[in-house]
């Protein structure tokens, strides 16, 4: 009987730890749609870090989970607070300086329409999907993203298993 009690305590402790980690540190999200292609694909499961932004601010290039009442979105941080962002002739400019986007395919770059210039509010971020021609993002529906709406930063793809990799 004592052995069963020890096993039960170990299982309860493991469950409690798993619940704490899931609630406060890591969680999963499923990528819906092709807006982050080719970086992330429709149906992939990602683990995201919910605690990272308690210790530091989001950075340009982070792939973040955005919490909205109707659904969550997976997008890349492009514009930081107080920056001016413009896309002209398929080139991204931040504060008037050309900014390279090595994570984009040439097709995504050519599919990026002119945008801006816009200045990101002090408490917000400008986000875009990597598949620029079809992404619902800060340019066309999501608007600027407040830091409080950012649920966390994606860390790795966990499913399908053959796609297991870091997202950065």
What positions carry a catalytic annotation? 35, 75
Contacts of 53 (CB under 8 A, 6+ apart): 147, 150, 152, 153
Count of CB atoms situated within 10 Å of the CB of 118 = 15
CA angle in degrees (0–180, nearest 5) for 168-124-81 = 80
The structure tokens 């400008």 sit at: 126
């Amino acid at each position: 009987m004592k052995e069963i009690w020890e096993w039960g305590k170990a299982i309860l402790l493991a469950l409690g730890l798993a619940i704490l980690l899931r609630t406060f540190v890591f969680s999963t999200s499923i990528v819906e749609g092709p807006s982050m292609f080719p970086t992330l694909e429709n149906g992939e499961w990602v683990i995201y870090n919910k605690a990272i932004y308690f210790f530091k601010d989001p950075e340009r290039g982070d792939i973040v989970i955005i919490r909205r009442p109707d659904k969550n979105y997976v997008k890349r941080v492009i514009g930081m607070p107080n920056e001016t962002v413009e896309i002209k002739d398929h080139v991204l400019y931040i504060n008037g300086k050309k900014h390279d986007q090595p994570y984009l395919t040439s097709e995504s770059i050519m599919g990026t329409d002119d945008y801006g210039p816009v200045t990101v509010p002090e408490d917000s971020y400008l986000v875009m999907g990597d598949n620029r021609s079809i992404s619902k993002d800060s340019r066309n529906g999501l608007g600027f993203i407040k830091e409080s709406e950012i649920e966390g930063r994606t860390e790795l793809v966990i499913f399908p298993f053959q796609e297991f990799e870091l997202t950065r």
